[in-house]
Structure 1
Amino acid sequence: MGGEAISGAALSRDRLVALASRVGPNAASGLARGRVAALSGPRRGEGGDLYDLRPFLEGDDPRLVDPAATARSGRPQLRRRHEEVERSLLLVVDLRGPMFWGTRGRFRSVAAAEAAAVEGWACVLAGGRVGLAILRDSGIDWWPSRPRQAAMLEIAAGLARSHAEAIAQAAGEAAPLCDGLAAVAARVPSGTAVVLATGMDNPGAAFANIATDLMCRNPFEVLLVQDAVETAPPRVRLTARIGHALIRGRFGPSGTAAFLTDRGIAVRVVRADAAEVLPA
């Protein structure tokens, strides 16, 4: 295997960190920049209108626990203000088995991780908090939301490590994407923006319903990762492995983006074969 193929299949921590330099005024056009950079309210610790109270979760700042609400409910309750909600972003990266392929340039898994990293850098460099959930065939790897560049350094290392482990273990049928999204929805605090980087392989029958419910309390966007054969299908007949079966046929144009937009789900396409890592 040549050096280019190896590079396209491997996820580099150093490259994920270097993507910080790609973040500028127009680097991220979705939730990471729009939900953070446009804020004009008071900074953390300087007051602000009370938004609501919610149960304390792992990774939350214990200084924001409300003593009175905690005493009334019998369990720790967190004060959450508008400014804090809008400055929080959760990156969800799909590293299930079907993501580990590519016909040109990068593996779809690498493209997903790099596009998500750009969103994360845009958020923390604008003063926000970023967390990470990695969807794997074996379960979910989770990094709680944290502020500043140190959070993204940890996320970059975690992505590279999980990618290497997942690509070595990928085999068989992947669990439906909706299962992972449901687990994320059950754990993410309301108001936190969620960006899902995925190829939408085996979404599951419940995906649209789960996404719709999630959007009722969280800004949600899909970074749809597509290989060259999905964006510009060849006219020749090809043999592809679908699960455990080998199927010969022609690729048709992907209708996944339309499927998402028709259901009101925000989507941006990420070209796995493009040198540019940023979503379109």
Structure 2
Amino acid sequence: MDLREIRAYSEGDDTRRIDPAATARTGRPHVRSFHEDRDNTVLLIADFRPEMLWGTSSSLRSVRAARLLARRGWEVIDQGASVAVLTLTRSRISALPARTGIQHMTAIAQLLAHEHDKALDMEQGSCSLSVTLARAAKLVPAGARVWLASDTQGVAEEDAAALGRLARRRRVTLLCPLDPAEAAPPSLPLPIRCGNTSRFARLSSFDKTPLSTRMRALNVTVEVIADDAG
């Protein structure tokens, strides 16, 4: 087992991993974490780019994505997993490294909320998903699970290569929280206006097949979440 780090004890850490030397030296409990835990390491990636900042119901799709990631993070933290997080907005990428414990998961939830607030400020920038995915490959080891919450069209062609490289040695799942208008669109045509141009259009429900086929070629699983209960 390769030692990853020795850090201060957080609520929820396994007390069997307390490091006696570091605890005695600092006067505070410290624990060890090991790289043998790579199969129990999870990375949460939240896409807060403008394409996610919309919604037709009680919450934006970006909010639904953050809730989904936070819920899954709390579930695996309770199982003793190490969890890391990356957030992507138009202007920046933010991260927290993989750690265990309730205190760390609380910090992840706070980061998700803070970065979402920043995304709503509509700051200018051009951060790409490809750069985020390259950073993800450095943040968690091979064998880790990766949950990427994004738009159904969020992985553009230019991002495919980076996503494929990330998925070669990690279990990557693309989480797509659908807006109600995508899951169960209204049956009547809707008016659409752009400047002086207007027309009527009928929305169709989201078809998962093309996206799943495209992601399968990259060794990525797709989960379409039709409601917050997912």
TM-score normalized by structure 2?
A: 0.74
Deviations 1:212-231 (A, max 9, x none): 22221111111111111111
RMSD: 3.0
Q: Is the 8 A contact 1:88 1:130 kept in 2?
A: yes
Give the distance between the partners of 2:177 and 2:193, measured in 1 at CA: 18
With over 3 angstroms needed to count, the CA separation of the structure-2 counterparts of 1:246 and 1:148, relative to structure 1, is farther
How much has 1:170 moved relative to structure 2? 5.4
Paired residues for 1:7-26 under 5 Å? none
Give the distance between the partners of 2:156 and 2:70, measured in 1 at CA: 26
> Quick check: 1:267 aligned with 2:219?
no
Q: Is the 8 A contact 1:111 1:270 kept in 2?
A: no
Q: Which residue of 2 aligns with 1:106?
A: 59
Q: 1:96 aligns with which of 29, 49, 68?
A: 49
Partner amino acid, structure 1, of 2:144:
T
With over 3 angstroms needed to count, the CA separation of the structure-2 counterparts of 1:247 and 1:188, relative to structure 1, is farther
With over 3 angstroms needed to count, the CA separation of the structure-2 counterparts of 1:218 and 1:106, relative to structure 1, is same
Q: Is the 8 A contact 2:91 2:123 kept in 1?
A: no
Q: 1:253 aligns with which of 202, 205, 229?
A: 205
Partner amino acid, structure 1, of 2:191:
L
Q: 1:238 aligns with which of 191, 208, 225?
A: 191
Task: Give the secondary-structure state (helix, strand or coil) at the position aligned to 1:131.
Answer: strand
With over 3 angstroms needed to count, the CA separation of the structure-2 counterparts of 1:198 and 1:238, relative to structure 1, is farther
Give the distance between the partners of 1:143 and 1:278, measured in 2 at CA: 26
How much has 1:193 moved relative to structure 2? 1.1
Q: Is the 8 A contact 1:91 1:116 kept in 2?
A: yes
Partner amino acid, structure 2, of 1:232:
A
Q: 1:223 aligns with which of 175, 188, 202?
A: 175
- Aligned residues: percent identity? 28
How much has 1:114 moved relative to structure 2? 0.3
Give the distance between the partners of 1:131 and 1:240, measured in 2 at CA: 42
Q: Which residue of 1 aligns with 2:5?
A: 61
Partner amino acid, structure 2, of 1:134:
T
Q: Which residue of 2 aligns with 1:119?
A: 72
Q: Is the 8 A contact 1:194 1:218 kept in 2?
A: yes
